Each structure stands twice: as structure tokens, then as C-alpha cells.
Amino acid sequence: MPKYLLIVVFPLIPFIAHGQQKHFDDTIAVYFNEIKTTTAKNKNLWGYDLYAPLLVVQPDTREVYANFPDTAGVLKSRGTIFTGILPSAINVANTSIHWSGEEWAMVMLPLPDNEGDRLNLFAHELFHRAQPHLGFKRYSPENSHLDHKEARIHLRLELEALKAALLASSPEEMKTHLTNALTFRVYRHKLYPRADTTENLLELNEGIAEYTGAMMSGRNKQQMQTHFLKSADGFLKNPTYVRSFAYQTIPLYGYLLSKTNYEWNKHITSMSNLTEYFLREFNIHRRGDLKNVIAQIADQYGRQAIIKEENAREVSIKKLKAEYRDRFIEQPHLEISLQNMSISFDPRNIMPLEDKGTVYPNIRVTDNWGILTVTNGALMSPSWNKLAISIPTRIDSEVVSGDGWRLELKHGFVVRKESLGNNYILTNQ
């Protein structure tokens, strides 16, 4: 398997209107001060102040605004902030990176206009930067089973039960809905081998980061409820759930648990099983005969409507997957080997393609051979060692392009047709 840096891109809601440069710089400085104040006020959450070097990047121009200077001297002082241009080899995303002699949390412009959403975003990425210090590994496992109809149904039921627990009027009512949520969760894990492991790993990464963001957002109780409900409803509209579910599940469980145990997160590690942890901390006993129990409780969470929607989706998804198989497997295509890649993508729309890998509708990859930008789909192999895209329509010495993709080549690399067959490959000259 190639070495790689994984970067997840989450497009955000609109930012403030651009004004004069000084006004913009002053606004960024205010935002840096907001998150600095917030992390200091909430350092008890992890027993550690998460405030650290931050990069705010404009994707189109690659102009970067920072709260600290870099050790390599790329960034220049401009008032109370530092600015420069991010090299094209660095993918712009909401992530954490090592660049110019420093470890950074990076966020993309436009930033949320809402202060709570903005603090949530900054704290999420600052947690990722602090993960090694806090003892958490960075996981990004495949959860392709969450594109299957039954898994989606039971994930949706789990979220509906969590939403009901959030709005419960008593501790007893909340526990009833939490018991049901965890019942749907345990049953889903029984349906799909290793689902409990792969889901847990992603939740330990993105779920804990998003919980941190939510808890440092400064929202009051009513605002928290509104945020979680809006976030969950928005998530359910995503084309797929395989990479984005963790942003919903753990923040909800964690927020509800924080009401009685604010420091629960300090008692988990990269080895923790979060399902077992929440069962124990909420004092919920596993139920027997899960299938019959679910038959009795699921209708109160809209099961019939969910099944109807998932049946309709399954028909349309089968058609889309057939189109992907034809484009990236059956028909002539370009195959690109991956050696030392950095990759950024939108986690909300990736599409598993059985045992052939995963289709990423939007993806940017940098590697030894150059930069690939895709806006109309690429198939990543299961072992993450190659990509397939549609055949080139234009081949030049420095730039190769096709339907919805552009490949900027470094010196010494070429795209050519295979000597046998109709596929194209990227290779050294």
C-alpha cells in the first residue's frame, strides 16, 4: 500500500462579504482571538489548551492567513497576522498538516458566519492537530457496509432515536430513547461482520473531533439542540453515509453523556470500544432477540417512511453504480499508480463499488507524478494503490485532461496508451 496523507474536505456555509484587505485581515484576527479565548476557557475538556498554529486558506487563490509565523519564513507579518501563498502541492482542506517546519490546523474559506459554527470548525481541526499529544491515533477505515440498504435503515433509526433522546423531557425518557438507539446500533453491527470495528475507528477519529468542536462552540442548551437537529437532518440528505456518519453519532452520544459526566472523554483511548463504553456509562443492558425488539420499537422512529425512501434509493443507486462500473472498469480508462500521495475529498458523497473500490466524485491528489484534480468521478482501488479515471481527451507534455479531470505532470512523467489493450497509463519516460 502506498504512503498517503488523507485530507477530508467539508464545504461550508457562506462567509462574510469581502471588503477591503485591511478589514478582512482585521476580521481574521478577531476570529483567531475568538478561538484562542474559547480554547483557554475550555481547556478542562481535555486537560489541555488546544490553541495552536492555524492556517485559514482561500482555495481559489491559495492565499493563507495564520496566527503564528512559520519556522521556514514563508509567511510574512501583516499587522497581527501572517500571510503567504500555500504551494500547489499542498491540498487545501479542513485538516491538520505538517508544513513549513510547523504542525498546523487548516480550515478553508469561506468560514461560517455564525460564531458557534465557526468555533466548532476551528476546535474540530485543532483537536486533529492535538490528537498525537492526546494519545489518539488517526484512523480512516472503509465503512462500505453503510451504503447497503439495511445498514442505512438502522443507522437512520439510531439517529432518530438519538434526536428523540436529545429532546426528551425527563432522564427516564432520554434513557428509553438511548436504549433504543443503541439497540439499532448493536443490531446493525451484528448484520455486518467487522462493522463494529470499522465504525468505531472512524468515530474515534472524526466523531471525537466533532464532539470537541461542539462542546467548544459556546452554544447554549437551545442552540445545541437546534445545531444537532439541523446537522442530523442535513446529514440524512447526503448521497452516502460511509464516511460522514461519525460526525453525527458520537457528538450526540457524547453531549447527552456530558450532562452527567462532563469528563467522560478523558476516560477513552484509541483502543476504546465506544459502543460498549456508552452502554456501560448510560447503564443500558444489551437486549436479547434484537430482531423482535426492533420490530416493536422501530415504528415510533418513522421506520415505514425510512424503508420506503431506502427502497427508492436502492433502485437509483444500482443504476449509478452500473454507470460507474462501465466508465472505470469495463470501458477504456486511465490508470494511475499511487506511491506517496496526499488526497483531499468530500466525505459526504463517496460511493463504494463492491469489491472494486470506492468512487470519489470530487477528489484532489498530489503524488510524485504531479497533481490530479477530479470533478466527475475517480475510482480508488480497495488497497489505495491506484486510481482509475476516464480516458484522456487531450495529452500534452505538462497537462493531460479528460471529462471532469485535469492532470498536471511533473517533468519525467507521461501518459500513454498501453501496448496491449485500450487503457492508458501514467508512467516515467
DSSP string, 68-84: S--TTS-SEEETTEEEE
pLDDT of residue 10: 56
Cα separation values, 52 from 37, 66, 127, 368, Å:
12, 10, 10, 30
pLDDT value at residue 409: 97
Return the half-sphere exposure (C-beta side, CA atoms, 13 A cut-off) of residue 326. Answer: 6
Q: Are the C-beta atoms of 169 and 192 separated by less than 8 Å? A: no
Which pLDDT belongs to residue 401?
Answer: 98
Q: Which helix (H) or strand (E) holds 39?
A: helix 21-41
Say what the pLDDT of residue 171 is: 97
What span, in angstroms and rounded, lies between the C-alpha atoms of 166 and 224?
10
Predicted local confidence at residue 7, as pLDDT = 58
Give the mean pLDDT per block of 10 residues along the chain (429 residues).
Answer: 56 46 93 98 97 97 97 94 96 95 96 98 98 93 94 98 98 98 98 96 98 98 98 96 97 98 97 98 96 98 98 95 96 96 92 94 96 97 96 96 97 94 93
What is the predicted pLDDT for the residue at 9? 59
Cβ distance 350 to 370 under 8 Å?
Answer: no
pLDDT at 120: 98
C-alpha span between 216 and 289 (Å, rounded)? 40
Q: How many angstroms separate the CA atoms of 328 and 360, rounded?
A: 12
CB proximity list for 365: less than 8 A, separation 6 or greater: 338, 341, 342, 343, 371, 372, 374, 387
Residue 185 and residue 301: Cα distance in Å, rounded?
A: 14
Query: Cis omega before residue 69 (within 30°)?
Result: no
The whole-angstrom separation of Cα 103 and Cα 130 is 9
With residue 3 as reference, give the H or E element that holds it. Answer: strand 3-8
Contact between residue 340 and residue 368 where contact means Cβ atoms under 8 Å apart? yes
Q: Contact 322/350 with Cβ under 8 angstroms? A: no
In terms of C-beta density within 10 A (0-12 exposed, 13-18 middle, 19 or more buried), how is residue 365 classed?
buried
Q: Report the alpha-carbon distance of residue 142 to residue 195 in Å, rounded.
A: 10
- Residue by residue, DSSP assigns 360-394 as ESSEEEEETTEEEEESS-EEEPTTSSEEEEEPEEE
**Which pLDDT score is estimated for 1?**
46
3-state secondary structure of 415: strand
Cα 387 from Cα 363, distance rounded (Å): 11
The answer to whether 64 and 74 are in contact (CB under 8 A) is no
User: Residue 424: which of 404, 397, 400, 406 has the closest Cα?
Assistant: 400
What is the C-alpha separation between 251 and 21, in angstroms, rounded?
Answer: 37
Secondary structure of 137-201 as H, E, C letters: CCCCCCCHHHHCHHHHHHHHHHHHHHHHHHCCCCHHHHHHHHHHHHHHHHHHHHHCCCHHHHHHH
Cα–Cα distances (Å) from 205 to 30, 199, 201, in that order, read: 29, 10, 7
Task: Please say whether the dihedral angle defined by the alpha carbons of residues 60, 108, 232 and 167, taken in this order, is positive or negative.
Answer: negative
pLDDT of 204 reads 98
